[in-house]
Structure 1
Amino acid sequence: MNIITSAPERTHLRLGFVALSDAAPLAVAALRDLGARHGVTIELCRQPSWAAVRDKLLSGEIDAAHALYGLVYGVQLGIGGPRADMAVLMVLNRNGQAITLSRPLADAIREGASVKEALRALGRPPVIAQTFPTGTHAMWLYYWLAASGLHPLRDVRSVVIPPPRMADALVEGALDGFCAGEPWHAVAQARGAGSTVAYTSEIWPDHPEKVLACRRDFAALYPNTARALVRTMLDACAWLDEPAHRVEIAEALASPELLGVPGTLIEPRLAAPDGGDARALPVRFFDGGAVNYPRVSDGLWFITQYRRWGLLSDAIDAAAVAASVNQIALYREAAQSMGIAAPGERRAATFIDGRVWDGGDPAAYLAGFEMRE
């Protein structure tokens, strides 16, 4: 297909990422030079933590990033840190995250104890890590704990640790568990420190996870560049739909410059149709473009959870915030230039606790939760 577009205003882009398997689209784009046909080159910039991704996006040291969906909204709303106008250009993947507990706790659950019984049996608040205060992992962890009958802010001590430190902290006994992305669950399990007890696709099936994020002024100043970057990442996500390509990129991700983890630990949970476990839905990167559309309703869901847990008390127009962050028009222009149709805005999902979210009435949805801040 011949793609007729305006030339990008910027041709060399620095993209931030954290060492996670779902950084695969960025790795594919850089290693296969997929930006060439769209007029851009990509430089990968590995970051030690999500806080570093945030800070370098805001300072302009990186142009865009593989980022937690909830990180973008946390910065937009100024929760617990600097506030800036942010943009979600597209979704990079669905699913692919998990919750791992220490071996004794996981064994107790496997032998029939409920999550609540196992954690209460410790006789102290369990220490469970997530990766960023407003990030996806914090929200998945809180939702899972609440659905299990535990208050995530009172019954559990939640701490923030960068993903690559999770397995080490579990081995050292500093944690009772963690919620993060792969391959760190596979690493913890291989080291005998813990076992995966839940997958985030069990909490919200086919949930949005990482996004392609930038400051909003970057997208406004360089719209052709932003569209070129979206087209490049759509190419990368489509390439990842091939099972053989998942195996190939798993080996590439193993390099010290990317994840620095053996490919044998990356591949099973990235390439297997069920992520290596029948309980899990696979990591999805493209699915004909259905993965990548930046639905406003997804952003609205994060705002409901911030309000649920007392992170956001200001009266804001949540719908207006989400509509300003999620760059639907820009995404549609980029996708349609490649012949990729945009799906509908509404997408109903049934969560682990039986509640249904479709973005239709956020206030009623929020009011329905018995366990809140």
Structure 2
Amino acid sequence: MSGTVVPRRVAGLVVALLLGAVPAAAQGPGVFEIFASRQQSPATPLLGGISLGSYHGAIGMRISGALNLTTAQDSNFLGARYGYDGGCRRPHCHDGLRSGGYRQDAMGMSPSIGAWSADLDLIFAPVRPVPALRALLLGFSPYAFAGIGGYGVRPANAADTSNATWSVGAGAHHELLGWLGVAAEARYRQPFSNDSGFTPTWRDKLQYRVGLTASFGGRRRSNEAPPMAAAVPNAPCGRAPCPADDAAAERLRDPRFAQRLLDFADGYVGVQYATGGSSPRTGFDAPGFVRFVFGEQGVRLPVSVNDMAAAGTEVSTRTWSLRPGDLLFFSNDQTSAIDHVAIYVGHERIIHSTASGGGVRYDTLGGGERGQWFADHLVSARRVITDAGSPNDSAPRGTDGAPRPEGTTR
């Protein structure tokens, strides 16, 4: 069989993986990754590949594929490294030229598949949906996985070593710019045909992988503002914040409400800043983002940042007094005039739509010049999750004067 022809059993395996993973990938936020992988032995080829994953909370599904493309000449050399006979057995080899101790022919530079891998993995990432825990781990999110797939080294003019495999492994992901990140993992791979489980030489079967990831989509992310948000200014309510209905009022009393709120807000990191904006389609300003996030959870807040600063219950701005979900208010001139609002995440981190940062992002109070600006200009904090009230419509305002993030220009 030619080195460029994938065996039928391999093709069937890849098709099965695609059919199994595509429905999962169509749901929830996704992660696209470009990666390089290699097994423990330095003699094994380096593979380059891509993967597509989809997550629902801490559970994810991922499909990956990687190839090592080589020439027929390199495949002969690869076969020698693996103990295969790399000699040419094609009838037209007598037309070739000898070079470096082996024979080349007219097809010597044609591309072929030197090695391949394909995997469908079920992933468990307990820290991924919890921004506060990721903050504790400095942005790292560990995960474990188990999967099925295949792996093969395919030297020219030699037996195909492709096998269907099962695998288990673990790794970690780290966010660099919100949507951009890096990942590294180790995988133990074993053929289904081998029923010995973990062998004494299990380290030789480890496959290491490093990659660059890009997140897309988001939790319940939409290009339009929710219908409830448009109805807020005219909604009757006693005092802000106001639950939209009995179900929303019940959610407010749930101790897990703050975490769900922050988990939802995290899905909009990277949305652009827009003055007066209140939807993902047009972008958000500071009060627009806060109002949208709370509104999607069924809680109405006032339109303007000044009215938000009167909602709920006042709490100390000392970090040990703050709870996740509290609203923090900032003044450019450190007076009572409120210019900006953010949602407190925990561990001195905030999530907000910031003019100086270009959109929805995280910042750390006191972290660097930018974080220090927010720490110095924090003037009040309000706890809104446990109160009920009504909105108060007025002109929006919410442009911060913080230094721009490093590496950005006006």
Band the TM-score falls in, shorter-chain normalisation: under 0.3
Bigger strand share: 2
**Structure of greater Rg:** 2
- TM-score relative to the length of structure 2: 0.20
